[in-house]
Amino acid sequence: MEETERLAQLILESKRIIVFTGAGVSTESGIPDFRSPGGIWSRYDPEDFTIQRFLSSRETRRTHWKMYAETGIFTKAEPNPAHYATASLHHWGKLDCVITQNIDNLHQKAGVPDDRVLELHGNMQWVVCTGCRGRTPLPEVLQRVTDGAEAPDCPDCRGILKPDVVFFGEMLPEDTLARAVSRSQMCDLFIVIGSTLMVYPAAYMPTYALSGGAKLAIVNLTPTPLDHEAEVVIRGKAGEMMPAVMERVKLGRSSDFR
């Protein structure tokens, strides 16, 4: 049986599906991942994404804000067919939740309600002051960068402004992590889309799902350490593979495909 058909069948048989996404689900929306050829690691120093470097180096902060302002990656990106395929699982009442490592807000933009998206690494739509903890929408801070502030600080307390996301070296939000673990343990199908499954603790989620008895499916361009545990592995572009899977699910819902 073809892999896309196999995943469609698993979706039809399941009631509480978790979709777990990494940077690979958003590359077709124009947001590069970290590790692929041409990804962020090939253009920037990985150390610049640690909290220690961001807080200690004004130059690193300047590089970050310049990248966000010049590329507009987190303000202009739109969902792609893989995000919409995930949203249709919600519309069909099969989605328990999305657990995402991404910070790009694209699952919500595609139509998954906020309370169904567990963001393990935060959301780039907000900027937080590391001094007074005040929050500002990203576009307001980017406007200040465009107007000449190279590494903008907090207008209220002069503290360092930082995207409200989890940098390497920072703790994950405790509540969200706890919810992600318990949801993973209770789902019946866990679909990984576009993740190397190498960034922890996020990458533990599929193992919690497996130990709770769920089936695992992986849609990724390159191999992952959990491929051997999966019922189905689809090696292809998420934005092409997921709509093909959903077409088959639709067929199955309207016929006796099951």
Task: Tell me the one-letter amino acid at 71.
Answer: T
Catalytic residue among 90, 91, 121, 228: 121
Strands 135-137 and 161-165: unpaired
Which two tokens mark 192? Answer: 């990984």
User: Scanning residues 114 to 153, which ones bind ligand NAD (CB under 6 A)?
Assistant: 121
Residues 154-193 vs ligand NAD: string with x where CB under 6 A? ----------------------------------------
Residue 64 binds ligand NAD (CB under 6 A): no
C-beta nearest to ligand NAD: residue: 24
- Binding residues for ligand NAD, rule CB under 6 A, total 29
Compute the chain's Rg from CA coordinates: 19
121 is catalytic: yes
Stretch that binds ligand NAD, among 89-97, 175-183, 205-213, 217-225 (CB under 6 A): 217-225
Instruction: Return the residue of 9, 14, 17, 22 that touches ligand NAD, per CB under 6 A.
Output: 22
Residue 107 binds ligand NAD (CB under 6 A): no
Establish whether the linkage from the previous residue to 152 is cis, with ω within 30° of 0: no
SS3 for 72?
Answer: coil
SS3 for 133?
Answer: coil
Q: Which is nearer to ligand NAD, 52 or 222 (CB)?
A: 222
Instruction: Return the residue of 79, 152, 163, 194 that touches ligand NAD, per CB under 6 A.
Output: 194
- Smallest gap from residue 146 Cβ to ligand NAD (A): 22
Instruction: Return the residue of 9, 141, 195, 230 that touches ligand NAD, per CB under 6 A.
Output: 195
Instruction: Return the residue of 4, 60, 88, 102 that touches ligand NAD, per CB under 6 A.
Output: 102
Instruction: Return the residue of 48, 96, 104, 188 that touches ligand NAD, per CB under 6 A.
Output: 104
DSSP E strands, 114-225: 117-119, 122-129, 135-137, 161-165, 189-193, 215-219
Cα four-point dihedral sign 75, 80, 84, 87: negative
Show the CA angle centred on residue 248, arms to residues 246 and 254, nearest 5°: 105
Distance CA 181, CA 176 (A): 9
Stretch that binds ligand NAD, among 28-36, 128-136, 170-178, 250-258 (CB under 6 A): 28-36
Torsion of CA 182, 205, 20, 41, to 10 degrees: 140
- Smallest gap from residue 258 Cβ to ligand NAD (A): 27
Distance CA 144, CA 151 (A): 9
User: Scanning residues 231 to 250, which ones bind ligand NAD (CB under 6 A)?
Assistant: 237-239
Q: In whole angstroms, how far apart are CA 82 and each of 20, 28, 30, 161, 240?
A: 12, 9, 13, 32, 7
Q: Which residues are catalytic?
A: 121
**Which residues sit at the interface with ligand NAD, rule CB under 6 A?**
22-24, 26-28, 31, 33-36, 39-40, 101-104, 121, 194-196, 198-199, 220-222, 237-239
